[in-house]
């Protein structure tokens, strides 16, 4: 048996149950904050009540668990990467989905939610069908494009964190000293943990910061966990609970999002394959992983949540622990699935005070932008127009962030398309990259 075979076998190695549970919890700790952030952001944009937001978080955990099982166990080597991959709701879709929410929140929030789910389902089908041919499109998503898009993604999320840091917008307490102090304390805790710790603790610094920030909020008397007492003990996430509707503009905007997700997922899967000693040039495994993302997003639209992708921080956990067994991911998926059945558990997450989430969010979303800037650092800016492309794309993407009412006279389809910083930035950088770098290029 050669060295390569040995390494591949490590991916399929079944560890003792106790080890699987502990390692699975470790993976959940690294992705937990991100998994609940997206449904909370979108629920607040739509003006949903705490019960509805709690349900969206439960649905997010359920599909994170199911998506992770699809990836780690696989379906006949055709769907799923069969790597220790942890799925979750992707931040990439927040901008486009927020634009949908902002378009409909003033009239009928549930219509906005239904259109989000419809676009999620169809975009998942798009990802599934595009999986085997996506490699041919990767040339249109070099670091210049992907770095710009991810930077725009982070920049669009940071204002959300700042609003959280102030408390609840529109209330007399918004922006008071107590809220800002609590956000600052949470932020400082995370920074200190990052400074003093190495390895795993650094990876869960945001989670630790949220936990400690919430405990401090309880002592300050600003935490309200009354929804935990009123939440059901057990609940099943029924398909199409809020209904589903299809809007062509919303669907097309999520097609762009899926291209970004697939680009990011490809890079993360290649990295994870290398960590696990699996042939990173295995096109069939890569396509199966992308089909897994697509199927997860299709199911997400049916089960009341949003587009999925591989969580990059869990690739970091695999690198730190050196554990290559895909069944660690399976254990994480089972635990996430179990959590989703208990609304009181998810009610704890949704009851975390906004300033605590704001302090953590400034770092969490800032990291998204920083990752984009890191990719842009790989770009050559000498003897070409790449600097102009980046500048123009980010400048255009900042329009709905800096002046949200800029497109207020646009029709509904225009608002969905142009009120998303990610969609605007993605379209701009894609077009400019083709015009300046691809047209006339010798093949």
Taking only the tens of pLDDT, the chain with its 443 residues reads 444 444 446 888 888 898 888 888 878 877 887 788 899 989 988 988 888 999 999 999 999 999 999 999 999 889 999 999 889 898 888 888 998 888 887 778 889 999 999 999 999 999 999 999 887 777 888 889 988 988 998 898 899 889 999 988 878 889 899 999 999 999 999 999 888 877 667 767 888 888 899 999 999 988 888 888 888 888 888 999 999 999 999 999 999 889 888 888 887 887 788 878 887 667 888 899 999 999 999 999 999 999 988 877 777 778 777 788 899 999 999 999 999 999 898 888 888 899 998 998 898 888 888 888 998 999 999 989 999 999 999 999 999 999 988 988 888 778 887 888 888 888 899 999 999 998 867 65
Buried b (16+ CB within 10 A) or exposed e, 125-146: bbbbebbeebeeeeeebbbbbb
Report how far residue 317's alpha carbon sits from residue 204's, in angstroms, rounded to the nearest whole number.
10
Tokens of 135: 């490699």
Global pTM value: 0.83
CB-based contacts of 410, cutoff 8 Å, min separation 6: 418
Going from N- to C-terminal start, the domains of the chain cover 15-436
Q: How far is residue 280's CA from residue 271's CA, in Å, rounded to a whole number?
A: 8
What residues does 79 pair with on adjacent strands?
A: 75
Alpha helices for 303-420 (secondary structure H) = 312-321, 326-340, 343-350, 354-376, 386-397, 399-402, 412-418
> In this predicted structure, what is the pLDDT of residue 289?
92
Residue 130 and residue 96: Cα distance in Å, rounded?
20
DSSP-derived 3-state class of residue 48: coil
Q: Which two tokens stand for residue 26?
A: 């470790």
CA–CA distance from 106 to each of 46, 80, 93, 234 (Å)? Answer: 8, 39, 21, 32
pLDDT of residue 332: 93
Q: Are 120 and 255 in contact (CB under 8 A)?
A: no
- Determine the straight-line distance between the first and last CA of the chain, rounded to whole angstroms: 42
| Contact criterion met (CB below 8 Å) for 154 and 288 | no
* 171 Rama sector, left if φ>0, alpha if ψ -120 to 50, beta otherwise: beta
**Closest of 301, 258, 307 to residue 126, by C-alpha:** 258
Counting beta carbons within 10 angstroms of the beta carbon of residue 239, is it exposed (0 to 12), middle (13 to 18) or buried (19 or more)? exposed
């Amino acid at each position: 048996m050669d060295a390569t075979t040995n390494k591949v076998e490590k991916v399929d190695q079944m560890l003792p149950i106790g080890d699987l549970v502990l390692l699975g919890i470790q993976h959940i700790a690294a992705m937990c904050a991100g998994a609940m952030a997206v449904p909370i952001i979108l629920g607040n944009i739509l003006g949903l009540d705490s019960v509805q937001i709690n349900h969206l978080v439960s649905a997010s955990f359920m599909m994170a668990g199911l998506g992770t099982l699809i990836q780690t166990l696989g379906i006949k080597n055709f769907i799923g990467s069969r790597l220790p991959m942890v799925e979750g709701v992707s931040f990439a879709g927040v901008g486009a989905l927020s634009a949908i929410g902002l378009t409909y929140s003033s009239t009928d929030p549930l219509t906005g939610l239904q259109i989000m789910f419809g676009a999620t389902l169809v975009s998942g089908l798009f990802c599934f069908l595009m999986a085997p041919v996506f490699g041919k499109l990767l040339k249109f998503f070099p670091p210049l494009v992907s770095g710009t898009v991810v930077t725009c993604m982070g920049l669009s999320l940071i204002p959300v964190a700042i609003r959280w840091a102030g408390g609840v917008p529109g209330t007399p307490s918004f922006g008071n000293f107590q809220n800002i102090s609590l956000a600052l304390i949470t932020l400082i805790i995370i920074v200190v943990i990052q400074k003093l710790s190495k390895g795993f603790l650094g990876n869960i610094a945001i989670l630790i910061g949220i936990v400690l920030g919430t405990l401090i909020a309880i002592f300050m008397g600003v935490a309200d966990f009354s929804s935990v007492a009123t939440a059901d003990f057990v609940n099943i996430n029924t398909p199409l609970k809020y209904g589903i509707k299809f809007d062509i503009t919303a669907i097309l905007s999520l097609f762009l999002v899926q291209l970004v997700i697939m680009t990011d997922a490809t890079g993360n899967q290649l990295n994870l394959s290398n960590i696990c000693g699996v042939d990173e040039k295995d096109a069939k495994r890569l396509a199966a992983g992308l089909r897994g993302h697509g199927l997860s997003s299709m199911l997400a639209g049916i089960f009341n949540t949003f587009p999925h992708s591989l969580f990059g921080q869990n690739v970091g956990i695999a690198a730190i622990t050196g554990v290559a067994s895909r069944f660690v991911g399976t254990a994480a998926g089972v635990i996430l699935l179990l959590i989703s059945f208990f609304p009181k558990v998810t009610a704890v997450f949704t009851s975390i005070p906004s300033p605590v989430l704001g302090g953590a969010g400034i770092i969490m979303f800032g990291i998204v932008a920083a990752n984009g800037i890191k990719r842009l650092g790989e770009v050559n800016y000498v003897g070409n127009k790449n600097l102009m492309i980046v500048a123009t794309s980010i400048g255009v993407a900042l329009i709905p962030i800096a002046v949200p009412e800029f497109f207020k006279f646009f029709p509904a389809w225009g608002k969905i398309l142009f009120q998303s910083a990610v969609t605007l930035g993605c379209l701009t950088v894609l077009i400019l990259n083709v015009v300046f770098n691809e047209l006339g290029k010798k093949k």
